[in-house]
Structure 1
Amino acid sequence: MNESVLIGVQLLLAHVLTDFVFQTKAAVVHKQAKKAKSWFLYLHALLAGILTYLLLQQWTSFSVPIVVTVTHFFIDLWKLNKKEDNLRVFLLDQMFHLLVLVAAWWYLNPAATSFPELLSELSTNTSFLAVLAAYLIVIFPVGFIIGKATKRWQEEIAADEALNSLESAGRVIGIFERILILTLILTDNFGAIGFLIGAKSILRFGDSKSGNTRKQTEYVLIGTLMSFALSIIVGSLVRVLIF
């Protein structure tokens, strides 16, 4: 394995072990209750540094483990002082940790390209730009197109008392659905798309048995087929462009 990749995996593994494997529910509850006075918080941050040191196996270098320990402590303290521990706070917490790990990886990898050079290389890389554009297209413009195209049917079933779904759930499902389809196409796993269609058909069959109206089922089917078709078209165009 390439040394730079190995360093990245080691740093990430140390973080996963610290935050998700060795952190018990009791420790989380204690930290939330005591915050900066919780000895679990200090032990947790210290564990992050120790695991980083052990996995990197750079026995004479302590700078990265110390930085990981200190930043892990303050990032977790920031999270503990937030009024709500919701998904947004969790994602921000993990993003801050990952930014520290990226900086540590950059520091430990002398051959790493400088940030301006990396941006310059990516901005002129056809494959990267094409894939990035494809994901942005299936997430935003395609969702907008489907929403506009199915608006009249959405309004028609909006007053249906049998309609009982989570707010914006369909939009979120559609986004992940299109991301998954595009990923399968770009990784040359066309057959798996059939399993995805089959799984969704089973779910719709369950909906029909639970009392959802035919109009609602047809509306979801139209949106699903449009979502699949547009994602497949975008993915196929990208494959033609970069492969």
Structure 2
Amino acid sequence: MIETLIALFTAHVLADYVFQSNKMVQRKKEPLYLIYHGAVVFGTAVLLTGTMGAPIVALTLFHILTDWIKAQTKDGIGAHLADQAVHLVALTAIATYAPELWHTGVWTHAPDFVPYMLLLASGAVFATRAGGFAVGILMAPYGPEFSKDSLKNGGKTIGMLERGLIYVLVLAGLPIGIGFLVAAKSVLRFETAKDGDIAENRKRSEYIIIGTLASFGWAILVSLVILLLFAQLPDLGIALPKP
């Protein structure tokens, strides 16, 4: 089952965070874009599981239905997290119902390390890119004024890098390094907040703290879940950190 779940999770990550553009996200109320996204979901699931059948069709239809419902609701962090939670529950349900998908598809003779590589890669994308979307939605109500003087996409790039570093540190068994990352970011941000209006600096500091904690929390949680999934895979004789 675990290999099937990893394959489906990787397909989900590719469909939602690699092959889905911002334009597609914004226009999901339009049937054409929703159907196109559904085709991508179906294609990635078929590619990653190496099989085509009723479970994949059911997963695709449920994904389309979930996205259509979300498109009708007011966008916000709660709706976004609920959407992703429903998708992940659906993946788990399909993997439980049809655990043999991986072993009966074209990847049945794939080396044992392939699921490890898929999980490592999909976890990295989910920690960095998916985390960026979640943090961006969380911070949107606070307005763009705190980042208007920053480099173009500077905050987005910093967030991607910090979540990527946390992912590597946790999987490498070096979570203590996160403390140094927090300290370095705090020092750099302090230097930019020494001058100027006190009230404005306080608001800016709170904005940065909320975004940083959300970004770090997302990356740490995803990293721990990935470690738990690693522990369910066949032993390759490689020592992995304990979550």
Report the TM range for the smaller structure's normalisation.
0.3 to 0.5
Structure of higher RCO (CA pairs closer than 8 Å, 6+ residues apart): 2
TM-score normalized with structure 2 length: 0.47
